[in-house]
Amino acid sequence: MKKQRTILVTNDDGIEAPGILLLAEMAREFGEVTVVAPAKQCSAMSQRLTIKQEMEIRPQPDFPVEGVKAWALEGTPADCVKVALQILSVKPDLVFSGINEGFNTGFDIAYSGTCGACFEAIFNGVPAIAYSNENRRNYSAVRAHMAAMTEELLQKEIERNAFWNINFPACDTEALNGIAYGCRPAEMQLYADNIPQQHYDDGRWTVLQCGVPITADMAPEGTDIHAVLHQKISVGKVFTGLMR
């Protein structure tokens, strides 16, 4: 029988994202679940905090996962963790963040709001797991493996300055090439910088961030990017250099 725990679930895609519903449903298998998530899309906000600006918090009585208390916050993922702990008096044993739409691997971890929430959790002494899926069109690998992998990771010791980071390829289970444990973050971005420009006659111009994905042969073996580009679930630790 699984130990009853208190679990805080958050994300960076917003409280209405399909990934957070799947994560909240799975989290119920491990304990009592509270959701505090951004009211709107907050991707690539890292551990950004909302400073000297009021943030509205709204109860979500119609959150579509039975038995889960939920709030939407007009703030960032890191704000959600802080507000849950300090204002809503949630005392979680664990923080689950995700399921993000898109991989959080390599250098992109530093930009990730999903991972930002996990950093905020471990800064407050709460163990955390980040979950990401390649896209929202296919959650087959998630549905097949997420609960069992979570159970397995919860049985393992992890340093207090680290969290678990899981990335699922969006493929059917028969196309999955297994689970790669111990993946280190690749020292590169999955999406190489690509910033098109548009110039105007009055001297203005615009730029657009739209990265170009690298190919599988470019990622070093043993890294998270190498794993996901070879249709494997990537599991590894992310450390912060601010704690020992």
Examine residue 211 and state whether it is found in any structural domain, yes or no.
no
Residue 178 has pLDDT above 70, yes or no: yes
Domain residues for the domain of 170 are: 5-182+220-239
Percent of the chain's residues with pLDDT above 90:
88
For 36-87, the pLDDT digits (tens) are: 999 999 999 999 999 999 999 999 999 999 999 999 999 999 999 999 999 9
Which are the contacts of 133, defined by CB distance < 8 A and separation ≥ 6? Answer: 19, 98, 99, 100, 101, 102, 139, 141, 142, 167, 168, 170
Q: Is 197 within a domain?
A: no
Rg (C-alpha) for the chain, rounded Å, is 18
Whether 199 is covered by a domain: the verdict is: no
In a domain, 16, yes or no: yes
The domain that contains 84 carries what CATH number? 3.40.1210.10
The band of 235, judged by pLDDT with boundaries at 50, 70 and 90, is: very high
Q: What are 116-139's pLDDT values in tens digits?
A: 999 999 999 999 999 999 988 899
pLDDT at 102: 95
With respect to residue 210, please indicate whether it lies within any of the assigned structural domains: no
Contacts (Cβ under 8 Å, ≥6 apart) of 58: 39, 71, 72, 73
Position 23 in a domain: yes
Q: What's at 65, amino acid-wise?
A: V
Residue 141 lies in a domain: yes
Q: Torsion angle of alpha carbons 91, 156, 96, 236, nearest 10°?
A: 140
The CA distances from residue 147 to 28, 30, 80, 198, in Å, are 10, 9, 24, 46
User: How many domains would you assign to the chain?
Assistant: 1
**Beta carbons within 10 angstroms of residue 80's beta carbon:** 34
Read off the pLDDT of residues 7-40 as tens digits, 9 standing for 90 and up.
999 999 999 999 999 999 999 999 999 999 999 9
Q: CA 23 to CA 21: how far, in whole Å?
A: 5
Q: Is pLDDT above 50 for 94?
A: yes
